[in-house]
Amino acid sequence: MRDDPWLDRNSGPVVRPYALTGGRTRPTGETIDLLATVTSTAAAAPEELPLEPEHVEVIRRCRQPTPVADLASDLNLPLGVVRILLSDMREHGLITIRPPMRTRLTDPQLLKDVADALRRL
């Protein structure tokens, strides 16, 4: 008897989002940081590509640069799935993905600004 723990009646949440990725669980290409900024390259989805509603939604939301974590939360999709969507879209030139700016974390003035701003909350 086949006893596959992934395909029991509770496994829906695993299977469904990954249907969107064609069953893949890993994105291709350069690693996509949680706080990388995604920007659409075109205002609207090109008609010649077979896009899912989620792709179209990414294009719409990322007309303004949007961090990956915000996007995953807004789309209510797991991060792993969003990363695969984004890597596909990057390959097709639909979006650009910019790594987060990290160098300034060693800048005491920036951190002082953060502390001051938090104090005003």
Residues in touch with other proteins (CB under 8 A): 5-6, 8, 10-11, 13-14, 17, 25-26, 33-35, 37, 39, 65-67, 69-70, 72-74, 76-81, 96, 98, 100-102, 104-106, 108, 110-115, 117-119, 121
Question: Of 50, 91, 90, which is closest to residue 68 (Cα–Cα)?
Answer: 90
State the nearest-atom distance from the C-beta of 112 to other proteins, in Å. Answer: 6
State the nearest-atom distance from the C-beta of 76 to other proteins, in Å. Answer: 8
Query: Smaller CB distance to other proteins: residue 45 or 68?
Result: 68
Measured distance CA(70)–CA(59) in Å, rounded: 14
Query: Smaller CB distance to other proteins: residue 50 or 115?
Result: 115
State the nearest-atom distance from the C-beta of 92 to other proteins, in Å. Answer: 13
The CB density around residue 78, as the number of other CB atoms within 10 Å, is 14
Query: Smaller CB distance to other proteins: residue 30 or 52?
Result: 30
State the nearest-atom distance from the C-beta of 66 to other proteins, in Å. Answer: 8
Question: Of 80, 93, 79, 108, which is closest to residue 42 (Cα–Cα)?
Answer: 93
